[in-house]
Amino acid sequence: MNSDGQPMRQTAPWPVEISQHHSAHPPDRTVAVEAAALNKWFGSFHALKDINLAVPQGSRIVICGPSGSGKSTLIRCANGLETFQGGTIRIGGAELTGDEKQLQKIRRTVGMVFQQFNLFPHLTVMANCTLALRRVLGKSRSEAVGIAVHYLERVRIPEQAHKYPAQLSGGQQQRVAIARALCMNPRIMLFDEPTSSLDPEMVKEVLDVMIDLAADGMTMLCVTHEMGFAREAADQVVFMDQGRIVETASPATFFAAPSQERTRLFLNKMLR
Amino acid sequence: MTTVEIFVGIFEGFRVTATVTALGLLYAVPFALVFGVAQYLTKGMARLAITAVIEFWRSSAVIILLFVFYYVLPVIDIQLPAITVAAMVLGLNAGGYGSQAVRAGLQSLDRGQFEAAAALGLPRRHILALIELPQALTRMAPTFINQLIQLIKGTALVSLVTLTDMTFRAKEIAESEYNPVGVYTSLLLAYFVICYPVTVFGRWVEQRIGGRKGLTNEF
């Protein structure tokens, strides 16, 4: 805590234990997430085909594409919620090994926001935010509450702290989910279609919070259909189709002059 | 004997009925929790072994289990007190059913709950204890109340292994008084008097849970 009672806004270093997994290659801490030759199958369905993607620390990358293109699967691989069959994923330079303990350590540094919010319905907003602070990071109650209040203010709903998720609107729930992830002071935030299950009038309040985060320099990997967000906040747009990355470009290039025919087709439908 | 005297006579067996129920719960609740959770978490051979134990207790006839543990085990020099046999057999049978409620309750949770907790870096045991079980047990509360009522009624069988419960007392009185109609009607009423309040309690619990979604602001 600093003098005015707010938690320090300091980004934690990558845990040492994570980086030690790779003595052969010195860990590249400037790359938050790196997928190399990533392949995944669901049974006989080839969901991800030779994916190569690097998310440099401090960058904001938007992944878009038609449904079934593998974009959600890719982002879920990035914190070990999905296993994969070929290739590697490095988080902060450390390769994911599938080891449960390593995964737990890595997940502390990777925040995730889900399409369905996935707040814990039996816990208040405050308890949703403080749970992992207390149980995973071992913070005291007062310290955890201080951090939670800070991030609830950041997503503009400190007054809802005592409520249960079911008492909140969808937009409010998603903002709580963002605050819950931010409480862990992650090095990167993963967003898996964060506005797709929201009523249209609630999309903006969530996007505003995300744009704020981006402006603050948070590293973000975001699956979304919100092209406006991509234009405003992303420094790279990745277009996926049928398990492959079709095109990667800056938003300006991506929207004005995409190089691939498939991208043009998608954009025509998206932007009408 | 007046109806009231019959009723009082039957309730002389209440202590045994209550004791078997209470001790039975001491077997049933831990068994249901441990085996329900274990069946949910394990795979392959381990799960098969756990399922086999559950099915043994769940799928056997209680009356036969009582006879086996009380009359057959002494043949191989294992002599268990009747009250122990009664509580164990009835308790584990109820626990077998309860374990399926626990497993089903856990399986019915949205997968997103586990994923959100895992994404925060919570270890598996914390996810189970803080996220999954509280939600599953809330859903399962009505089933557990049903199981408790089944357990109370099931204790009527312990009269067959020499325990003087309410049913045993009723048989005694019926034989000495030659009044099966009065005695067994009173016995029916006696079980109803015990079980009905539990049903009412169950309804109260259900409404309480249904009334408010959340359970705690602490953990």
pLDDT digits (tens, 9 = 90+) for B67-116: 999 999 888 888 889 999 999 999 999 999 999 999 999 999 999 999 99
Identify the band that residue B197 occupies on the pLDDT scale cut at 50, 70 and 90.
Answer: very high
pLDDT at A215 over 90: yes
Report the residue of chain B nearest A180, measured CA to CA.
B120
Closest CA to B115 of A114, A102, A185: A114
Q: Are A70 and A96 in contact (CB under 8 A)?
A: no
| A107/B135 touch (CB, cutoff 8 Å), yes or no | no
pLDDT in tens, A103-133: 999 999 999 999 999 999 999 999 999 999 9
Tell me what pLDDT residue A73 has: 96
Of the given ranges (A81-90, A156-165, B97-106, B167-176), which has the lowest mean pLDDT?
B167-176
Tell me what pLDDT residue A14 has: 55
| Contact list, B119 vs chain A (CB under 8 Å) | 79, 81, 107, 110-112, 181
pLDDT in tens, B33-44: 999 999 999 999
Q: Rounded to a whole number, what is the distance in Å from the CA of B141 to chain A's nearest CA?
A: 15
Tell me what pLDDT residue A140 has: 96
Q: What is the mean pLDDT of chain B?
A: 90
Report the residue of chain A nearest B213, measured CA to CA.
A122
pLDDT at B215 over 90: no
pLDDT in tens, A9-59: 455 555 544 444 444 455 556 899 999 999 999 999 999 999 999 999 999
B122 vs A79, A122, A132: nearest CB? A132
Q: Are B54 and B123 in contact (CB under 8 A)?
A: no
| Contact list, B215 vs chain A (CB under 8 Å) | 122
What's the domain count of chain B? 1
Tell me what pLDDT residue A98 has: 83
Tell me what pLDDT residue B210 has: 63
Of the given ranges (A63-72, A263-272, B102-111), which has the lowest mean pLDDT?
A263-272
**ipTM entry:** 0.88
Tell me what pLDDT residue A7 has: 47
pLDDT in tens, B141-153: 888 998 999 999 9
| A131/B213 touch (CB, cutoff 8 Å), yes or no | no
| Contact list, A108 vs chain B (CB under 8 Å) | 120-121
Closest CA to A190 of A19, A65, A87, A73: A73
Query: Which CATH number is B43's domain given?
Result: 1.10.3720.10
Q: How far apart are CA A99 and CA A115, in angstroms?
A: 26
Whether chain A has a CB inside 8 Å of the CB on B185: the answer is: no
Full domain range(s) for residue B55: 3-218
Q: How far apart are CA A246 and CA A251, in angstroms?
A: 15
pTM of the model: 0.85
| Contact list, B126 vs chain A (CB under 8 Å) | 135-136
**DSSP H/E element including A35:** strand A31-42
Q: How far apart are CA B103 and CA A153, in angstroms?
A: 39
